Amino acid sequence: MRALPALTAITLTTGFGLAFFYAPMDADQGFMQKIFYVHVPLGIVALCGFILGGIMGIQHLRTGDRRYDLRSYVAIHLSLVLGVGVLVTGSIWAKASWGSWWVWDEPTLVSFLIVFLLYACYQPLRFSIEDPEKQARYASVFAVTAGAFVPLNFIAVRLAEAVIHPRVFATADGGLPPKMRLAFLVCFAGMALLYVTLWRYEMAAKQASWALRSLRRRLGGDDALAPRGRSAAPSLPVP
Amino acid sequence: MRHAVVAVLRKDLQLELRAPQAVPAMALFAVTTLVVFHFALQRNSVDGELAAGVLAVTLLFAAMLGIGRLFVAEREEGGLDGFLLAPVDRTALFVAKGLALGCYLVALELVLVPAFVVLLLGPGLNAAGLARLAALLLLVDAGIAVVGTLVSAIAVQTRARDLLVPLLGLPLLIPVVIGLARGAEPLFLQAGAEALPGRWLLMLALYDLIFGLLAYALFDFLVED
């Protein structure tokens, strides 16, 4: 548990160091292009997190194991937090390179907004179902549907918007200079590690609160447990 | 399974025929929305992309009303419990409800499209254009019916039912809006209707197929009580 946060910090610091001091300045956009090393890794990790939430949802529906619901919840929750970062950095980048805070003809950004708006309903949906078992089931159905929606939506929006901007990422395999690519890959690895670290922390926190609850129950019986009340967070049945 | 589907569908349509509830509300709402568009856009007639957009938005928002009502009677009158007691496949309920919603949407469009052509559409629509629009709308209806049934089944079990239907439904239906707006645009051009662009039909068909399979697989988990 100790090594992972340290590795995350080192990789992210190295990645940003490479981005600022090693990777060359972009010929067109100059210094502003550096936000690419934050924005794109954030976006990819957030989308992968949404899809991961869907996969965990499938596992929950298949096995009925409530722990998969917790994993699905944590994955989507973290991706939503990162998603705010994606939209803010994307907006700043748009302002700097195209002169306005929002551009509709950038299909990736628009798709991300739609996906983000959809997932923003995840917590309200959980919150408005009281029965924990039913809440878990419905949330998983939502997670699977929305997870399948992510790639489909990207295809539809990409078709709809004429691509007029140079696409940095589409050319990342071939077009990106080697120095930039190295910096990007390290940043991406750092961001992925950050996601995993945060995931493990949130899982540990949730599991600790359940352990506490079940200990309280063992000590004081049912009376010792305060009624759980309505919550968007998933819950395991107290043993 | 076919008997169960037909039985539930017949029950729904009979209820709607005897005590019309969803369809008149949707149709009235749609026509009112056209009037709202007249004043909000300050246009006496629309054409091209604007016309396609007005049609798409009106259809989608009117559909939200029907989606919100789809499972309400089942939930309030205990129809779901009765269905679960019956020894039939649960998917039959999904298919029947999807078909019922599809029928409502077709009935809505029988009112909406003529009203739209008379009230707002500038260039008018000939028979060939109408046939193309009907083909496009059928694909759109299938998509709305599939996703709408799924969303409705999720939302009806929550306390925030009326809030969740548009919140979940609108983002999920964005690809349908794209397909309808882009596909209908060439039909409403001032210079005369052009052919339907094939790739939007293809995109809509793909969307219908994927969400149809997905909803088919997932619906069982929504009626497990």
Which among A114, A137, A141 is the nearest to B174, CB-wise?
Answer: A114
Q: What is the pLDDT of residue B166?
A: 92
- Chain A positions touching B208 (Cβ under 8 A) are none
CA of B200, closest CA in chain A: separation in Å? 9
- Chain B positions touching A127 (Cβ under 8 A) are 160
Of A139, A133, A129, nearest in space to B163 by CA: A129
Confidence of residue A226 (pLDDT cuts 50, 70, 90): low
**Which of A95-104, A220-229, B5-14 holds the top average pLDDT?**
B5-14
Whether residue B164 and residue A125 make contact (CB cut-off 8 A), yes or no, is yes
- Chain A positions touching B222 (Cβ under 8 A) are 137-138, 141
Of B180, B66, B47, B59, nearest in space to B112 by CA: B59
Whether residue A160 and residue B225 make contact (CB cut-off 8 A), yes or no, is no
Q: What is the pLDDT of residue A228?
A: 64
Residue A74 has pLDDT above 90, yes or no: yes
Residue A88 has pLDDT above 80, yes or no: yes
CA of B18, closest CA in chain A: separation in Å? 33
Confidence of residue A96 (pLDDT cuts 50, 70, 90): confident
DSSP label at residue A95: H
Residue B119 has pLDDT above 50, yes or no: yes
Q: Which chain A residue's Cα is nearest to B203?
A: A156
Q: Which two tokens stand for residue A239?
A: 């043993």
Contact B183, B196 (CB under 8 A): yes
Q: Which chain A residue's Cα is nearest to B177?
A: A156
Q: In angstroms, rounded to a whole number, what is the distance separating the alpha carbons of residues A77 and A80?
A: 5
- What ipTM did this prediction achieve? 0.85
Give mean pLDDT, residues A95-101: 83
CA of A149, closest CA in chain B: separation in Å? 7
The CA–CA distances, whole Å, from A146 to A84, A192, B97 equal: 18, 21, 21
3-state helix, strand, coil in chain A (%, to 5): 75, 0, 25
Q: What is the pLDDT of residue B137?
A: 93
> First vs last Cα of chain A: how many Å apart?
26
Q: In angstroms, rounded to a whole number, what is the distance separating the alpha carbons of residues B14 and B52?
A: 33
Share of residues in chain A with pLDDT > 70 (%): 87
- Chain A positions touching B158 (Cβ under 8 A) are 125, 128-129, 138
Which among B171, B178, B182 is the nearest to A117, CB-wise?
Answer: B171
Which among A114, A144, A159 is the nearest to B171, CB-wise?
Answer: A114
**Does B179 contact chain A (CB < 8 Å)?**
yes
Share of residues in chain A with pLDDT > 90 (%): 32
Query: Could you give the angle at the alpha carbon of B193 between the alpha carbons of B191 and B196, nearest 5°?
Result: 140
Task: Check residues B191 and A37 and name the one with the higher pLDDT.
Answer: A37
**Which of A32-46, A201-215, B55-69, B85-99 holds the top average pLDDT?**
B55-69
Q: In chain A, count of helices (H) and strands (E)?
A: 7, 0
Contact B149, B215 (CB under 8 A): yes
Residue A163 has pLDDT above 70, yes or no: no
Whether residue B221 and residue A140 make contact (CB cut-off 8 A), yes or no, is yes
| Average pLDDT along chain B | 89
Q: Tell me the pLDDT tens digit for each residue of B58-74.
A: 999 999 999 988 888 88
Q: Which two tokens stand for residue B116?
A: 């739209």
Confidence of residue A3 (pLDDT cuts 50, 70, 90): confident
3-state secondary structure A41-84: HHHHHHHHHHHHHHHHHHHHHHHCCHHHHHHHHHHHHHHHHHHH
Confidence of residue A223 (pLDDT cuts 50, 70, 90): low
Task: Check residues A210 and B53 and name the one with the higher pLDDT.
Answer: B53
Which among B150, B158, B171 is the nearest to A129, CB-wise?
Answer: B158
B 134-153 near A (Cβ less than 8 A): 150
Q: Which two tokens stand for residue B99?
A: 């078909």
Q: What is the pLDDT of residue A172?
A: 45
Give mean pLDDT, residues B21-48: 91
Confidence of residue A164 (pLDDT cuts 50, 70, 90): very low
- Chain B positions touching A68 (Cβ under 8 A) are none
Q: Tell me the pLDDT tens digit for each residue of A23-68.
A: 777 767 777 778 888 888 999 999 999 999 999 999 999 998 888 9
Give mean pLDDT, residues A138-143: 93
- Chain A positions touching B172 (Cβ under 8 A) are 118, 145-146, 149
Confidence of residue A237 (pLDDT cuts 50, 70, 90): low
Number of C-alpha atoms within 13 angstroms, CB side, residue B34? 23
- Chain B positions touching A149 (Cβ under 8 A) are 171-172
3-state secondary structure chain B: CHHHHHHHHHHHHHHHHHCCCHHHHHHHHHHHHHHHHHHHHCCCCECHHHHHHHHHHHHHHHHHHHHHHCCHHHHHHCHHHHHHHCCCCCHHHHHHHHHHHHHHHHHHHHHHHHHHHHHCECCCCCHHHHHHHHHHHHHHHHHHHHHHHHHHHHHCCCCCHHHHHHHHHHHHCHHHHHHHHHHHHHHHCCCCCCCCCHHHHHHHHHHHHHHHHHHHHHHHHHCCC
Residue B225 has pLDDT above 80, yes or no: no
Residue B2 has pLDDT above 80, yes or no: yes
The CA–CA distances, whole Å, from B125 to A112, A143, A156, B112, B132 equal: 36, 42, 27, 14, 10
Helix axes B48-69, B161-172, angle to 10 degrees: 140
Residue B20 has pLDDT above 90, yes or no: no
The helix (run of H) or strand (run of E) holding residue A186 is helix A178-220
